[in-house]
């Protein structure tokens, strides 16, 4: 186990720095958009660009990794990301920022893909669970701690952009200096999702709903907090609470879903997320401690919807279909993630900042209703249980597509 950890220590350090910078910059850009006078609706479109890039990166960044290898691909993506952050200062314009967010999302997807595929190759069946837990801790701690860097300087100044860029650049150092060999590149194969609804309407609906809910909060949460008069310190704590709360509840809920019908657990988590979302609206004025507690609980419940949904689909699918399912679910989540900030920002523009959590509650309510109807139509869930995989703080896992390409190549070699 310790030998495995030593072989990926530099990779985890690079990834932790990457998440630290990304956590800071995502929140910073939302706040800076407001300070520059962009409307809430315009900010929603800008922030949605990141998820467009994530989706494109999940589909196409694997080709870059396959062409040049893991280390060079990571270095290229991190360098471009660092440049993109500083480029926001050169031209303060919504269209320019939208394009840069798409670039950032693409690069982020590529770096996550490199990290997760590397970790999985270095792990064995005996150590994979513990290594993955360590990876998830790095994921959440990096993204959560990045929120507190907002207090170093005011978002209206240039310093936080420079700090983000510096950390993105520093993320290159550990992985470039590692003596461990990187995984061999594989030939990617284009994957599509079809017949997913036929396998599990609840699973696919939950995946889309998770994309809508998670991207809305990640993108528009800072705007919600700022428009409610919270200070920079309170805003950073507000966003960090959701991320760290998600870290705490991932594994207990996942273990519970492995024992019970996942759809029942999904209904419970969605209802709990609704209660927390409405409670946040009530508790936000003044930025009191109940608000931070509720945001942590909300993150804990809402961030489990995607892994529960993915596991539900895999419970019902044939084992040989999992490659295509991984790709299909990734696209389904990406579609929801792109639409989330756009729709949420429009509602916030009409209803005020509380429209964010009203929108989230409406999505979760729809998921509850659909799940109840489907449980009445199909009383029993999957006879066997597929592994529950925790959701990373960026939303979804680039590993799924890379692993799918790897499995496809392995099957070809076995013929």
Smallest CA-to-CA distance from 241 within 309, 104, 344, 147 is with 147
| DSSP 8-state symbol, 150 | G
Mean pLDDT of 369-384: 77
Count Cβ atoms below 10 Å from residue 248 Cβ, excluding itself.
Answer: 15
User: d(Cα 107, Cα 172) in Å, to the nearest integer?
Assistant: 13
CB 226 within 8 A of CB 234: no
Query: Domains in the chain: how many in total?
Result: 1
The predicted structure's pLDDT at residue 227: 92
The predicted structure's pLDDT at residue 4: 67
* First-last CA distance in the chain: 33
CB 210 within 8 A of CB 350: no
Mean pLDDT of 329-357: 92
Per the model's pLDDT, the better-predicted residue between 251 and 106 turns out to be: 106
CB 188 within 8 A of CB 63: yes
How far CA 284 is from CA of 17, 26, 205, 226, in Å, comes to 31, 21, 30, 11
* Position 59 confidence tier, pLDDT thresholds 50, 70, 90: confident
pLDDT in tens, 198-241: 788 898 999 999 999 999 999 999 999 999 999 999 999 999 99
b/e 326-341 (16+ beta carbons within 10 angstroms → b): bbbbbbbbbbbbbbbb
pLDDT over 80 (residue 124): no
The predicted structure's pLDDT at residue 100: 97
Report the range of poorest mean pLDDT among 175-189, 224-238, 243-257. Answer: 175-189
pLDDT over 70 (residue 37): yes
Count Cβ atoms below 10 Å from residue 39 Cβ, excluding itself.
Answer: 14
pLDDT over 50 (residue 123): yes
pLDDT over 90 (residue 120): no
* Position 404 confidence tier, pLDDT thresholds 50, 70, 90: very low
Q: Which domain holds residue 190?
A: 2-414
* Position 354 confidence tier, pLDDT thresholds 50, 70, 90: very high
Tokens of 35: 């300070």
Smallest CA-to-CA distance from 164 within 99, 104, 74, 234 is with 104
Count Cβ atoms below 10 Å from residue 76 Cβ, excluding itself.
Answer: 17
Mean pLDDT of 292-305: 93
CATH code: domain of residue 176: 1.20.1250.20
pLDDT over 50 (residue 107): yes
Per the model's pLDDT, the better-predicted residue between 257 and 81 turns out to be: 81
Tell me what the pLDDT averaged over the chain comes to: 83
pLDDT above 70 covers a percentage of the chain that reads 80
Place of tokens 């509840």: 249
Mean pLDDT of 319-346: 81
Tokens of 329: 């679910």
| DSSP 8-state symbol, 287 | T
Mean pLDDT of 102-126: 80
């Amino acid at each position: 186990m310790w030998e495995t950890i030593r072989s990926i220590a530099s990779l985890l350090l690079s990834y932790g720095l990457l998440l630290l910078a990304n956590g800071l910059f995502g929140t910073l850009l939302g706040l800076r958009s407001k300070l520059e006078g962009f409307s809430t609706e315009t900010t929603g479109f800008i922030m949605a660009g990141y998820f467009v890039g994530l989706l494109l990166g999940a589909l196409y960044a694997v080709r870059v990794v396959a062409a040049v290898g893991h280390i060079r691909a990571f270095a290229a993506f991190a360098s471009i990301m660092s440049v993109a952050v500083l480029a926001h200062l050169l031209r303060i314009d919504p269209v320019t920022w939208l394009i840069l967010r798409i670039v950032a999302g693409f690069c982020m997807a590529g770096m996550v893909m490199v990290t997760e595929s590397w970790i999985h190759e270095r792990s064995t069946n005996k150590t994979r669970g513990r290594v993955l837990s360590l990876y998830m801790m790095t994921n959440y701690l990096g993204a959560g701690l990045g929120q507190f860097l907002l207090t170093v300087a005011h978002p209206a100044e240039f310093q936080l952009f420079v700090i983000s860029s510096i950390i993105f650049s520093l993320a290159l150092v550990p992985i470039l200096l590692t003596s461990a060999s990187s995984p061999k590149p594989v030939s990617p194969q284009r994957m599509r999702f079809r017949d997913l609804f036929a396998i599990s309407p609840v699973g696919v609906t939950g995946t889309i709903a998770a994309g809508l809910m998670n991207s809305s909060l990640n993108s528009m949460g800072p705007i919600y907090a700022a428009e409610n008069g919270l200070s920079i310190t309170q805003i950073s704590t507000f966003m960090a609470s959701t991320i760290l709360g998600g870290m705490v509840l991932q594994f207990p809920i996942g273990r519970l879903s492995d024992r019970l019908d996942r759809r029942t657990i999904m209904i419970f988590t969605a209802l709990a997320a609704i209660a927390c979302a409405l409670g946040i609206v009530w508790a936000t004025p003044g930025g009191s401690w109940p608000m931070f507690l509720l945001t942590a609980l909300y993150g804990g419940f809402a961030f489990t919807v995607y892994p529960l949904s993915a596991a539900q689909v895999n419970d019902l699918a044939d084992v040989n279909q999992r490659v295509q399912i991984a790709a299909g679910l990734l696209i389904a989540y990406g579609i929801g993630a792109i639409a989330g900030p756009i729709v949420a920002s429009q509602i916030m523009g009409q209803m005020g900042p509380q429209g964010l959590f009203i929108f989230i509650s409406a999505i979760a309510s729809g998921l509850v209703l659909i799940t109840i109807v489907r449980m009445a139509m199909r009383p029993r869930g999957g006879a066997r249980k597929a592994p529950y995989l925790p959701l990373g703080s960026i939303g979804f896992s680039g590993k799924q597509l890379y692993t799918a390409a790897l499995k496809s190549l392995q099957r070809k070699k076995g013929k």
